[in-house]
Structure 1
Amino acid sequence: MSDDENAPSGERPRAEQRWTASAFVLLSMLIPFLLPSRYAAGTSWLLPAIEGAVLLALVIVDPGRIDRPGRRVRALSIALVVVIAAGAAWAAGRLVWDLLHGNPDTTVANELLLSGALVWLQTVLAFGFLYWELDGGGPVNRHLHPRRRPDLAFPQQIEPTLAPAGWRPVFFDYLYLALTNATAFSPTDVMPLARWMKLAMAAQSILSIVVLSLVVANAVNLLGST
């Protein structure tokens, strides 16, 4: 049962718990160590170390639930998303470059499929964090000052009878949005309303198409030549 369902009628639902998003930050920190070193910006440990330091700072200044307003907390949250996105962008760009120009390390089908899957997962996580942190000004603002006109329209917001009173999306909802947008290459149940959100979702769809098509095409060629 969710916090919204536990909240008495007319009382503000409790803020989102931090542990869910933190668990996926740890996953994003693990991926560079599973990929070949050339897909990491700098060294395999550089960006994960920065992510870990920023996450630790966030847990210290705003532990438990994400409900503390302030410029410092907001700056740390944005910085974390930027680092995650930078790592995903570097890995995706490097993978596409290798597939277009050739690289000895992309000539084994099984290794290529594994690397492609990890890079694709990394981009899904990055866009999930991007949507979560920017929609409606971030989780703190969505809790304290929910907007009447959101950047993203979830089904529960379009038809409030589908959810408990005061329902608001949490990190997992944005991760699901990123996953479906990366597989369907278009909005599914969540509609982008703000122009910047439409641009972000379009960019993710294009990136996902490029990565998946190049990885699958090259893997099929490699398997066919064996």
Structure 2
Amino acid sequence: MGRNESRAGVGPDPERDAGPVGEHRLPPVIATLVAVVLYALLPDSLLLGPRVVIPVIEVALLVALVATNPWRMARQSRWSRIAALALAVLVIVSNLVSLGLLVTQLGSDADGMAMLRGAMQVWGTNVIGFALVYWELDRGGPVARRMLPRNKIPRADWRFSQDENHGAVDEVRASSSEDSDWRPVFADYLYLSVTNSSAFSPTDTMPLSSRAKLLMATQATAALLTSLLVVARAVGSLTGG
């Protein structure tokens, strides 16, 4: 049996044969709502303005985006692209402001448990916000990645493992970008964001563009501040240190 025959599937792939299918809307919607709730539950001292203002703006942008692509992300307009990027940037900027406010309280007699809860909320929002930005920027965004032919997709900002697996053994190569037409979805960028916030550096997904490197550096710095300074100070307050 030849190589092509050994790599063949057991039958036709109806989804692939039917043409490109947009990415599911639900995962990024759930992640965004989690970020909205995390921000809304922050202590008053960590909020930028009235408690409801930023969550209401974020939800309004999210509703408008869902109305454009309720289930599958197959359509994109100039305004929807701007709204999607604005939502992701708003999540990040408001969270970085909260982190700055949290850091300013390190030398105060603020409640240690409240600081620890706030730090965890900021860390979680940091992960989601940057995942949204990575997802929206890479290769033209979620609509372009899934709906355009591969030779029409804009340049990649990140290189995933699947982009390199075409030279591996058959069972690994089967899921590579070259052999299966694999394209990253929101879960891939969420994983990238989690690992960058935990290891403070790239792991298996490498940044290619300058903007990708700057974004990852900003995220890693924010995560480092949260993990090493704020959490350590909060734990110290709880233990009487």
Q: Same fold (TM over 0.5)?
A: yes
Q: Please state how far the C-alpha of 1:183 moved relative to its aligned partner.
A: 0.4
Report what 1:123 is aligned to: 126
Report what 2:83 is aligned to: 76
* Match of residue 43, structure 1, among 50, 57, 81: 50
Query: Structure 1-normalised TM-score?
Result: 0.88
Structure 2 unaligned runs (5+)? 1-12, 167-172
* Match of residue 14, structure 1, among 21, 24, 36: 21
Structure 2 matches for 1:20-169, cutoff 5 A? 20-99=27-106, 102-104=107-109, 106=110, 108-145=111-148, 146=150, 147=153, 149-160=155-166, 161-163=173-175, 165-169=180-184
Query: Structure 2-normalised TM-score?
Result: 0.83
Decide whether the 8 Å contact of 1:181 with 1:187 is kept in 2: yes
Q: Which stretches of structure 1, 4 residues or more, deviate above 6 A after TM superposition?
A: none
Structure 1 unaligned runs (5+)? none
Q: CA RMSD in A?
A: 1.9
Q: Please state how far the C-alpha of 1:162 moved relative to its aligned partner.
A: 4.9
Decide whether the 8 Å contact of 2:40 with 2:52 is kept in 1: yes
Partners of 1:162 and 1:214 lie apart in 2 by 44
Partners of 2:160 and 2:19 lie apart in 1 by 19
* Match of residue 199, structure 1, among 205, 208, 214: 214
* Match of residue 190, structure 2, among 171, 175, 196: 175
Tell me the secondary structure at the aligned position of residue 44 of structure 1.
coil
Q: Please state how far the C-alpha of 1:56 moved relative to its aligned partner.
A: 0.8
Q: Please state how far the C-alpha of 1:199 moved relative to its aligned partner.
A: 1.3
Partners of 2:58 and 2:16 lie apart in 1 by 37
Q: Compared with structure 1, are the counterparts of its residues 191 and 6 closer, same or farther at alpha carbon in structure 2 (3 Å cutoff)?
A: farther
Q: Compared with structure 1, are the counterparts of its residues 56 and 222 closer, same or farther at alpha carbon in structure 2 (3 Å cutoff)?
A: same
Q: Compared with structure 1, are the counterparts of its residues 162 and 201 closer, same or farther at alpha carbon in structure 2 (3 Å cutoff)?
A: farther
Q: Compared with structure 1, are the counterparts of its residues 65 and 223 closer, same or farther at alpha carbon in structure 2 (3 Å cutoff)?
A: same
Partners of 1:12 and 1:155 lie apart in 2 by 24
For the pair shown, the structure with the greater C-alpha radius of gyration is 2
* Match of residue 208, structure 1, among 217, 220, 223: 223
Q: Compared with structure 1, are the counterparts of its residues 60 and 214 closer, same or farther at alpha carbon in structure 2 (3 Å cutoff)?
A: same
Decide whether the 8 Å contact of 1:32 with 1:45 is kept in 2: no
Q: Please state how far the C-alpha of 1:138 moved relative to its aligned partner.
A: 0.9
Q: Compared with structure 1, are the counterparts of its residues 24 and 196 closer, same or farther at alpha carbon in structure 2 (3 Å cutoff)?
A: same
Between the aligned residues of both structures, percent identity stands at 37
Partners of 2:174 and 2:219 lie apart in 1 by 28
Q: Is 1:222 matched up with 2:237?
A: yes
